[in-house]
Structure 1
Amino acid sequence: MIAKSRLDIKEVERRRQFKEIVAQRNISIVYQPVVNLTTGEILGYEALSRGPEDSFFANPLNLFGYAQKTQDLYGLEKIAREKALAGLGQLLRETKLFININPQVVNDPSFRPDEISEFLTSLGAGANQVVFEITERTSIDDFSSFRRSLEHYRQHGFLIAIDDAGAGYSSLQAIAEIQPDFIKIDYSLIKDIDKTTTKKKLLETFHIFAQKTNSQIIAEGIETEYELAGLINMEIPFGQGFFLARPEYPPPVVDSRALSCLSGFNKGTAKVSAGRMIPVRNISQPAPTVPVNSLTREALDFFTANPKVEGVAVTEDEYPVGLVMRDKLFNQLGTQYGFAVYTERPISLVMDTQPLAVEDDTPVETVSQAAMGRLDHKVYDSIIITRNRRYHSLVSVRSLLDALTTMQLEVARFASPLTGLPGNLRIEEEILNRIGGGLAFSIVYADLDHFKGFNDRYGFERGDEAIKLTAGVIATMVRESGKPDDLVGHIGGDDFVVITVPEAAETISQGVCADFDRRIPELYDPEDRQRGSIYTVDRKGQDVEIPVMSISLAVIDCLPNEYTNPEELARVAADLKKHAKKKPGSVYIKERRKRIPNN
């Protein structure tokens, strides 16, 4: 009885404290940046609420959990929203605000997005500067009703994010049903992403899914430079976490150490292949826009006066809010009542409210993948290019594919004609990029033993088959055990190179040796295969017996600032390969000398 009484007293006091917090609006807001992992620029800030210090409600989980239990969630979230908007103020004109919203509040009839729109208008900001984060830790029971509510907010121009994806209830169902603009991956999947294969594959799945559904990934909870490097290697576009910046008020900038790492990592992983790092702005064309308050007739007049224009962006205060394509507009107006119904009505009734829009520094290859991943009826629509989320230009799908094809042909010029693998120019460029990136990496140099004797015995055609088989063995092993950004190159003749991360180098080398030994006998005649050797004539005219080909690998771990150019690495590799070739069969030798990196 006494224990129950104490609990009752504690609950009464807690209830009093909570009511006081709401009445006095005693909630503080801190902001954590959401950062572009390519440029280091701030996409927006997530607003995080805190209760009074040194109280039970200082922890936001306690604060909002209690509000949900007592059915006071709407009132508390309303206060948090208003304070978050006011605290960011004029920054809303150039950056986004991510606001956490419980699914229960979304369906609350008291929740009126027009109130937020009015506040944004007073600042000269658009509704597309606000992103509603739907927490994934709370279940959504009726997706049909929930989706209708969200569509109402989208019509006002607000953006939607799924928060904590991968942490709770039905992530994939929520993403499929809601079709968010952003997918925020829970910190539990990001922790140790650089060394956890399963987490990496799961994040890759989310990333591919996002590209095909016109969403963008935000990685939450980045706490180390290694996690950051892993995410950059995977081309995850945005991230947030303590390593980038801690939540603070006033809104903080990105930590200088994190910016330095971003610069180095992006330099170190740069690629020219397939236009991967060619920004889309290089192929876009400036194009006029129509204001969102225009009539459909004005867009029709614009297309009539400009017969070569395929599409036009619809903007509100410099921010794109829609897209109108010529063929779709003409088809819509060409129906029995279309012209009469729409020409004197707002353009917003006929525009696509969710066009594909990308920042102007997005790589051409990434934009191409996103464009081709759209729904069938949108796949040939123009892509809106933005700069700091403001309208910049348009690019057509034709221009995009032409540019990608040209870049791929340019890359092919420097590839080995026999194996199709990157040649010396690309290999040298990658080594320099890795050296400049400031991270440790490994290089595996490979060449064949007894290849000349094989060539003499069977001829150049079968020799080419041996080279192609070797290329396939190495590429397959790197694909299975390496990283997405690893490079397999063909130096020439029977020499190959792999550029990878230190933790994968030995696994790759072991796999190459084993698979090569298993596959190479296929190229020998049956009697030679059975004997395990071939007979050929040496330079002195003497018959000599030569073993079946094997492969020798030299593995070099490169510490940051240890090497300055590819030639230094080649000299070390040549010495290692001499030792490897003295050993019978397929082997790899790893450099194990203690070295002091240059400072």
Structure 2
Amino acid sequence: MVGLSQHIVTGVKPLVLKLGRRFYHLLERLNLPVKAWEWPASPSRVPELLREGQWVGMIYLDIVEFQLTEQVYGSLYCQQVLGILDRLVKKQINALLEPYSLLETRRWGDDLVIYFHSFSQSPPAPLDLSRLAERVKESLGTELNLRCSHLIPTALNFHVGYSVVRPTRENFEKALYNAYKEAVLVAKSQLDAREVKRRQQFTELLLNKNIRMVYQPILALDSGQIIGYEALCRGPENSFFASPLNLFGYAEKTNQLYALEKVAREKALAGLAGDLAGYRLFLNISPHVVHDPSFRADEIRAYMDQVGAAPERVVFEITERTSIEDFRTFRQSLEYYRQHGFKVAVDDAGSGYSSLQAIAELQPDYIKIDLSLIRDIDKNPTKRILVETFLTFAEKTGSQIIAEGIENSDEMACLRKIGIPLGQGFFLARPSYPPPAVYMEAARMLEENTGTGTATARQRSRLGRMIPVGSISQAVTTIDTRTVTREVVDFFTHYPQVEGVAVLDEEKQPVGLVMRDKLFNQLGTQFGFAIYTERPISLVMDCQPLAVEHDTPVEVVSQVAMARSDHKVYDSIIVTKNRSYHGLVSVRQLLDAITSIQVEAARFANPLTGLPGNRQIEAELLNRLSGEQPFSVIYSDLDHFKGFNDRYGFERGDQAIKLTATIISEQVARHGRPDDLVGHIGGDDFIVVTRPEVSEEICRKIIETFDQKVPELYDPEDRERGYIDTKDRQDRPVRLPLMTISLALIDCHPGQYTNPEELARTSAELKKYAKSKEGSVFVKERRRRST
């Protein structure tokens, strides 16, 4: 008995010889063994009918263990059996197939394929087809055994399979091949009637492009603005294929993933001219699809040109349904699409074994953090650390992080605190059509906190204000609008270290920018040199360069510069002072300054919580005390922390400190102001520098959240009792209640305090008074000091 792969090939190759060589080459690439037979020379009507849009039925018969029968009884007897089978088929098959008509039969060895059709009848349903095949099997089997009993005394049985070849005008060889494979699988009892029906439904789904697209928004978490939509594919409603897991899983199972993704791409891209106008489109593709001949960047771009959409608006989202075996080749394939302007994202980062390698190898424009890391990130410090690591990596490689699967307000608040720039999830909006707006609750929360940023972002912004962009700018030679282009070329030639020059008007105000590389590229075109060399530089300059005031923080300038379109992102930035030219800053200088700020911040941050340490706290207080604006300082201290630390150990004590840091940071992020400071003085002592109008609300929210979350740090039996048994400083047994938090709030008016030490002394008195009260409390300094 030949193997399954050999059945497929030996059953199809003779047909291939009649249908053309393309299919034969396909089989050769499969490296399957081909058995030599004497093939009939008559032409097949099947391809003609398929091209005309007609269906063709197929019944496959295979004599069970015929190879063994041949070894036992000899090839002479078995050849006679096959001859009798041919005569039986010729005599009986027309009657057995009614109400359908026989097209032709093909036999290769003990494999028999019967093709049938009807111009007036629809193709049989899977159950009817099964019954028809069984009828053919039973009738031929019974008659064959009667006529062959004198040759072979043992009973002969058939495997029977069946399938329907759907009409197609293209690639009918592939349709025949898939139908044959399906029939063989049925014959080997690997497919039942229900599965055959499902295969037919999926084939019709692809043929009629009967899928629907839904869209889920991707938001900028700092502003709440929708920057794009992810296109998601769904099958017909109320069907097995309505679920994307079933839809794509079945496509992969039946080797039709290319076909499904092609239909999905066409439907998703069609939205760029309508519902998605102005937004980025995130399009899921499997890694292997880059090898699909129908997935061509030039064709996709040509289609987008027709609908007036730029390739930069399309982001190919690489999923991990299949692993990437050869990253070098895959990266080269992706580069072809990038050259046409398309962007790349890596999906589900952190969920699969190859996701980190994919990020490192592919250097994507976007990194989508898997929802498994986002789920309960507000409650899981380890997840926060992992996501912060991804963010740091992204910032250093020029990628943008998208947090997937945001399902509640706490997760979103935590992600904003960390500094994650983009997000999507059910809390923001579920996938639907037409593309949805952001849900009201999420929109309200984002609107209320717009401008406050996150704890990490605020910390960077505050540190960035210590270095105004004007301090790192260089007074590079300028030119005016009447300067001849040839002179600018000569200038760049003599000063190769200069990347760009500003163009000024008569009032010395910047009106344009000329970058060396762009100028030379423009002049290097076929007629560029002849057209522009002797003409004013104003004809080739960038008339809308990025210009900022000299006192703008370098961090703010960096964010604005990186938000420019791709072809401008590395252009120099013009720095002005009272709108007059002050100097130029290159992107390299800007990034060097940001790096220095971050390194400096890391040096003096508290190692346990990552919050600013005493040096930064002192600098902030001195800056506030020397200013003319009132501010508030909140000092916090944990009650009964030492007893907790002694009872549970230092590791649990560190958890309590980190939990306190998280609670304070989150509440300041939600209710504070962009320039607020959260610092870690040391141990269980923290400080908040904020504005008087929000200070009391911050205190109340810190206490409320602390009392809610701190019991989770205790063992269940201690939490249930509401106290722990430990020892005091004199080693005497003592019973301590659960930890509480005491806050000392001081409003500081201009000139009221002269140095941080005075504030510290006042806060020490207030904290002592607060700790004398039961439970979590905050006390406020009511005395007004004379100025």
Which TM bucket (shorter chain)?
A: 0.5 to 0.7
Q: 1:13 to 1:577 in 2, by over 3 A?
A: same
Counterpart mapping for 1:527-566 below 5 A:
555-556=742-743
1:54 paired to 2:233 = no
Q: 1:406 to 1:384 in 2, by over 3 A?
A: closer
Q: Structure 2 residue aligned with 1:103, among 273, 283, 287?
A: 287
**1:53 positional shift:** 1.0
| Partner amino acid, structure 1, of 2:516 | R
Corresponding residue of 1:259: 443
| Partner amino acid, structure 2, of 1:482 | A
Question: Normalized against structure 1, the TM-score is what?
Answer: 0.60
Rounded to whole Å, the distance in 2 between the matches of 1:276 and 1:185 is 30
1:365 paired to 2:555 = yes
Q: Verify the 8 A CA contact 1:29 1:48 in the aligned structure 2.
A: yes
Rounded to whole Å, the distance in 2 between the matches of 1:91 and 1:273 is 40
Rounded to whole Å, the distance in 2 between the matches of 1:554 and 1:19 is 65
**1:264 positional shift:** 2.6
Q: Verify the 8 A CA contact 1:556 1:573 in the aligned structure 2.
A: no
Q: Structure 2 residue aligned with 1:205, among 380, 389, 412?
A: 389
The alignment partner of 1:119 has SS state of: helix
Q: Between Structure 1 and Structure 2, how many residues are aligned?
A: 443
Q: Structure 2 residue aligned with 1:386, among 564, 569, 585?
A: 564
**1:422 positional shift:** 2.1
Corresponding residue of 1:310: 499
Rounded to whole Å, the distance in 1 between the matches of 2:297 and 2:285 is 12
**1:397 positional shift:** 2.9
Q: Structure 2 residue aligned with 1:397, among 562, 575, 587?
A: 587
Corresponding residue of 2:636: 445
**1:326 positional shift:** 2.7
- CA RMSD after TM alignment: 5.6
Q: Verify the 8 A CA contact 1:184 1:220 in the aligned structure 2.
A: yes
Corresponding residue of 1:240: 424
Rounded to whole Å, the distance in 1 between the matches of 2:630 and 2:412 is 21
Rounded to whole Å, the distance in 1 between the matches of 2:432 and 2:624 is 44
The alignment partner of 1:231 has SS state of: helix
1:275 paired to 2:454 = no
Q: 1:118 to 1:195 in 2, by over 3 A?
A: same
Corresponding residue of 2:661: 482
Q: Verify the 8 A CA contact 2:744 2:770 in the aligned structure 1.
A: no
Q: Structure 1 residue aligned with 2:319, among 127, 130, 135?
A: 135
Q: Structure 2 residue aligned with 1:157, among 341, 344, 351?
A: 341
Corresponding residue of 2:193: 9
Rounded to whole Å, the distance in 1 between the matches of 2:744 and 2:304 is 54
Q: Verify the 8 A CA contact 1:446 1:554 in the aligned structure 2.
A: yes
Q: Structure 2 residue aligned with 1:63, among 221, 242, 247?
A: 247
Larger mean Cα displacement after TM superposition, 109-118 or 481-490: 481-490
Rounded to whole Å, the distance in 2 between the matches of 1:235 and 1:482 is 16
Deviations 1:282-317 (A, max 9, x none): x999xxxxxxxxxxxxxx9695288597259xxxxx
1:221 paired to 2:417 = no
Corresponding residue of 1:317: none
**1:61 positional shift:** 1.3
Corresponding residue of 2:303: 119
Q: 1:90 to 1:590 in 2, by over 3 A?
A: same
Corresponding residue of 2:618: 420
Q: Structure 2 residue aligned with 1:180, among 351, 364, 367?
A: 364
Could you list the runs of 5+ residues in structure 2 that have no partner in the other structure? 1-158, 161-185, 475-484, 502-512, 530-544, 574-585, 605-612, 639-653, 669-676, 690-697, 711-729, 731-739, 750-759, 780-787
**1:503 positional shift:** 9.3
The alignment partner of 1:16 has SS state of: helix
Q: Verify the 8 A CA contact 1:95 1:129 in the aligned structure 2.
A: yes
| Partner amino acid, structure 2, of 1:18 | F
Deviations 1:382-417 (A, max 9, x none): x56427x89698532377379879999xx99xx998
1:87 paired to 2:271 = yes
Q: 1:580 to 1:94 in 2, by over 3 A?
A: closer
Rounded to whole Å, the distance in 1 between the matches of 2:256 and 2:616 is 70
Q: Verify the 8 A CA contact 2:275 2:435 in the aligned structure 1.
A: no
The alignment partner of 1:482 has SS state of: helix
| Partner amino acid, structure 2, of 1:23 | L
**1:507 positional shift:** 13
Corresponding residue of 2:332: 148
Rounded to whole Å, the distance in 1 between the matches of 2:400 and 2:466 is 18
**1:425 positional shift:** 6.7
Q: Verify the 8 A CA contact 1:167 1:186 in the aligned structure 2.
A: yes
Q: Verify the 8 A CA contact 2:276 2:435 in the aligned structure 1.
A: no
Rounded to whole Å, the distance in 2 between the matches of 1:133 and 1:219 is 14
Rounded to whole Å, the distance in 2 between the matches of 1:230 and 1:114 is 42
| Partner amino acid, structure 1, of 2:777 | E
Bigger relative contact order, structure 1 or 2 (CA pairs below 8 A, ≥6 apart): 1
Q: Verify the 8 A CA contact 2:286 2:321 in the aligned structure 1.
A: no
Rounded to whole Å, the distance in 2 between the matches of 1:433 and 1:267 is 19
Larger mean Cα displacement after TM superposition, 53-62 or 477-486: 477-486
Deviations 1:491-511 (A, max 9, x none): 9xxx972479669969999xx
1:326 paired to 2:510 = no
Corresponding residue of 2:776: 590
1:27 paired to 2:220 = no
The alignment partner of 1:61 has SS state of: helix
Q: Verify the 8 A CA contact 2:706 2:741 in the aligned structure 1.
A: no
Q: Verify the 8 A CA contact 1:138 1:168 in the aligned structure 2.
A: no
Identity of aligned residues (%): 51
